[in-house]
Structure 1
């Protein structure tokens, strides 16, 4: 999940009254808003196994078909609904949005479908975006996108048929429905004065956060005349008949259907060149002719070896621990590590006893050997064990205490402290110093490593503390959508959870996974607040932090971080880096935004 900004108009630097964004240029990294394929960032090419945000990828060779091995499918193909890193990987190749990034710089936005940076009114309540002309949709739509297509893309996300995953970033647009509707409603706060201009009127002065969120795929245009017939179904079948504006498209038939053709669900995704893509309008070089993605490769060890020993292949995400150690010590030329801008954790459902008791949750964190869980994902090579939730280098991290955090006792023992854990269990009323209940608690984990291995470690840790845990392993794409994120499934512990930035603001790490207001009210909607935390102190701190700017904002979100730590809703065990693995004859380029491979910049030798 964002999956995964400091922009030239970064929230931390914004003034509260006037935002003259159109005058802003590049930041100190030297990355401007050039639309050339090689624009942004100076310096030499990225070295294998390294990450340096000041270095840009070397030019690649054009042509060829690459292969990616993946352990599971996308969550959604629909750009307005996808919220997994892997779903973002596909969307990056197929769906252009208003703004995006060069692969080596997730701090400076590049106008994508937008013609320039947005302008904002003096009161911060009106945002205007000018759009590029003549960027066409893929077949069978075959026409240039217009402002009305971005308006429709956003409006459809407030319906029950195609509910969006990001609406908390723009539900303050004037006229936005407060609840999901049966049919698409016109949002009065989104107007299109001409086909290349879109104007947003906000009911709250949250323009800074709103503008940053425009890098997310919800701003990918959707043509109403084509998509509305699919959106009329519940759920929408637009993702089965997808069009886009990116360099690539999911292979389809003449009518536009991708289901069973270019997208064989849980089996494969075939990306082919979008014949309507015009390189002169895009900063992406899109070197390869296409990509074959296998989404049913569940043996991570076998997949990693096939990629390392094979030709023109990529691995979709982190390799298992034993392969990672080999990469770090012996095979140093076939991987790249990228900070993910997030953390991995085991959530505790606060609606289910005994996790409704904060002292039980604190006891679990105190006694949990988080280092063992980290080792299951690769140990020290994958990143540090966090003491709080704002990760290193993220806005607000230093204000939240840096590496030490808030010096909260139950977070200070990465290998666990049985005595401290017993103290908290006793505060919760368990005289033995362990949990004494007999009920069985459902724990959900991924069925492929390294997530599987980490979930198995977690189950053992809970059992050591007296819990009767039943671990059920499911495909990764089902963990959130079908289990942990569904309140009615009564999942007590989510054993395969990770949360990564949507953009480089503290709100994206802390608001959605921990704010009570982010829990959906509609049955069947996915909750990304996996602990279903509704803590009054956390919620009040979030609401206080949302409208802030500048140094005040950094301090306010640090206060949110502290409130979450004290509420103890999850067991955080690694603030990780993503390790991307490739074959020797692939010039792999990772996305610093998403931390997975960027198929638009990766080339085949």
Structure 2
């Protein structure tokens, strides 16, 4: 990733223009040079200790289990309650810092060995009440390969560990490539030289320690129930009873974080100013929820941004309550390439050609929230420029942001439909998110398919259900997912393309390859690119793959997204630039 630690230039300029139009005055601070809503390069990380913060959310986390969590909102919780080997401080979206680890990982010259030293006195919350060891990290990563946990990225980033496949297939009782010579040292041995990628992935929640003697009985169930019995190593824990059973979690309703009594401030870079954090879920009307935050006390947004009319009002009236954050991500409409009619490449190209991506972007706030996407590596990530940058990869079916129906019909004819219109009578299952801007995006997307004669059957559900029950589950046979999006896992272009378009990463549960793309040439190119070392070489290799994926038209990229975050006036909010939302471990009350 390009180390941009403030609002992207495109976004900042657009916000400035809007503010000038609304207020008739300059939108920039003459002393700092920053634009309205832009997160400063260096945030104020000091704050007042104490108090309770309310996080307003529209839906639930994807998985409460940190070993399965793979959703931006869930990471917001996970990084406050768990301590992976590495994590990202608020101001750096590129370089992770040691968390449970004592220093940077040591990667061997051949990339086949990664060694990490860990801190000796980081304790689990009750009822475990002991120091975490290297064996706990080993078990945490191993459980990510268990079908009862079904981590969504273990295969992509940890799949080259010696013995990982045997363990996943039930032929071994542990991953032999993970060694724990001492309680404070862990060694990862790989069959291929992908140690640099594995080292980057150690900043994901999967590397947070899990005590086997406590968790194994929960992991033996299918699905695992460890999530609702979890223990923490971070400054906060989800409120639980004396046996570890969560009392502070009601799916779809609330999550309550309290201080972890075993957390030692001396071992952690986090500040943890707040005493309690109450996540209030189920706020479907994001207009009402946004106004509640803006007009209330001690509140921030969780899994949603303010809808376009509210966002414009904030920019013109209360810009100090807004934090616009480059997400390093993209939103797209995925097409199920394994099922008719989208197993036909020319039909997919036709859909992309017809799609009005400019109108889709308007459902989220228009140019204010980022440029229209036309490939899958976003701005600020290595490989973006090499793949074509804002101009795109050169394919004609993504040349027209407002769509080109004439071109679309030509592709339909090539796909076997002589009139240029789809003639099938079946209804295509399309699962989108209910409420707010996401629902408007889904409804508009449905209309785009109808232009070519398709008959989408739009089903609207909560955002967590859209992912976990439908789009992340191949057997659900969803044909179109209009509300999916992807953020980087760490600062490398592989994280934008490998989990999402590599056929080897299609899994039955918690699947992130939503188009179910399984293209032999692309899979092979990824296998080779995973071994490439050096920033320039990796950027080029993954940019080439980005072009290959775009040519296959597995999804409709429609915005390279920036995240609008809002807070009450009495909240000293701190953004985590890696995750693109509020950092609960640094945010405080004024």
> Normalising by structure 2, what TM-score?
0.92
Q: After TM superposition, list the pairs within 5 Å mapping 1:417-566 onto structure 2.
A: 417-520=404-507, 524-550=508-534, 551-566=536-551
Name the SS for the 2:282 alignment partner.
coil
Q: Is 2:395 the counterpart of 1:408? A: yes
Counterpart in the other structure of 1:35: none
Question: Do the aligned partners of residues 138 and 46 (structure 1) sit closer, same or farther apart at CA in structure 2, a change above 3 Å counting?
Answer: farther
Query: Which residue of structure 2 aligns with residue 245 of structure 1?
Result: 233
Distance in 2 of aligned mates of 1:87 and 1:535: 31
Higher helix share: 2
Please state whether the residue corresponding to 2:202 is helix, strand or coil.
helix
In structure 1, C-alpha distance between the alignment counterparts of 2:115 and 2:327, rounded to whole Å: 31
User: Are 1:81 and 2:81 an aligned pair?
Assistant: no
Offset of residue 330 of structure 1: 2.7
- Residue equivalent to 2:6: none
1:251-297 CA-to-partner distances (Å, cap 9, x unmatched) read 00000000xx1001111000001111111111110111110001111
Q: Is the 8 A contact 2:45 2:586 kept in 1?
A: no
CA distance in 2 between partners of 1:541 and 1:125 (Å): 20
Quick check: 1:295 aligned with 2:275? no
Alpha-carbon offset, residue 182 of structure 1: 5.8
Cα distance, 1:62 vs. partner? 1.1
Cα separation, 1, equivalents of 2:369 and 2:142: 39
Q: Check conservation: 1:152, 1:222, Cα contact below 8 A.
A: yes
Which digits, 9 at most, give the CA deviation of each residue in 1:324-374, with x for residues without a partner?
A: 222233321111011111100111101121101111111111111111111
Q: Which moved more, 1:141-150 or 1:177-186?
A: 177-186
**Match of residue 195 from structure 2:** 207
**Structure 2 contact 153–499 (Cα < 8 Å) conserved:** no
In 2, the alpha carbon distance for the partners of 1:473 and 1:561 equals: 30
Do the aligned partners of 2:63 and 2:227 also contact (CA within 8 Å) in 1?
Answer: yes
Deviation track 1:389-437 (CA, whole Å, cap 9, x = no partner) reads 1111211111112211222111111111111111111111222222222
SS at match of 1:503: coil
Partner of 2:11: none
- Counterpart CA distance in 1 for 2:266 and 2:324 is 31
Residues 167 and 173, structure 2, Cα contact 8 Å, conserved in 1: no
- Cα deviations by residue, 1:542-591 (Å, 9 ceiling, x for unpaired): 12211012222111111100001100000111001001111011111111
- 1:470-498 superposed Cα distances (whole Å, 9 cap, x missing partner): 10001111112111122221111002101
Q: Please, which of 240, 264, 269 is the counterpart of residue 283 of structure 1?
A: 269
Counterpart mapping for 1:25-40 below 5 A: none
2:434 touches 2:462 (CA, 8 Å); kept in 1? Answer: yes
Q: Does 1:123 align with 2:107?
A: no
Over the residues paired in the alignment, what is the CA RMSD in angstroms? 1.7
Indicate if the aligned counterparts of 2:167 and 2:175 stay in contact, CA closer than 8 A: no
Q: 1:487 to 1:151 in 2, by over 3 A?
A: same
Aligned length: 560
Distance 1:415-1:179 versus aligned 2 partners, 3 A rule: farther
Matched, 1:578 2:566: no
Which stretch shifts more, 172-181 or 266-275?
Answer: 172-181
State the match for 1:10 in structure 2.
Answer: none
Q: What SS is found at the alignment partner of 2:325?
A: strand
Alignment of 1:280-429 (within 5 A): 280-316=266-302, 317-429=304-416
Q: Is the 8 A contact 2:257 2:276 kept in 1?
A: yes
Higher alpha-carbon deviation: 287-296 or 479-488: 479-488
Shift of 1:377: 1.0
- With 342-351 and 176-185 compared, the bigger mean Cα shift is at 176-185
Q: Is the 8 A contact 1:342 1:576 kept in 2?
A: yes
**Quick check: 1:400–1:558 contact (8 Å CA) kept in 2?**
yes
Q: 1:452 Cα shift?
A: 1.0
SS in 2 for 1:108: coil
> How far 1:106 sits from its partner (Å)?
1.1
Q: SS at 2:550's partner residue?
A: helix
Whether the aligned pair in 1 keeps the contact of 2:90 and 2:578 (CA below 8 Å) is yes
Secondary structure in 2 aligned to 1:444?
strand
Equivalent in 255, 258, 262 of residue 272 of structure 1: 258
Q: Give the direction of change, closer, same or farther, for the CA distance of 1:45–1:109 in structure 2 (3 Å limit).
A: farther
Quick one: structure 1 residues 150 and 179, their matched pair in 2 at CA, closer, same or farther if it must change by over 3 Å? closer
Q: Which runs of 5+ in 1 are unaligned?
A: 8-42
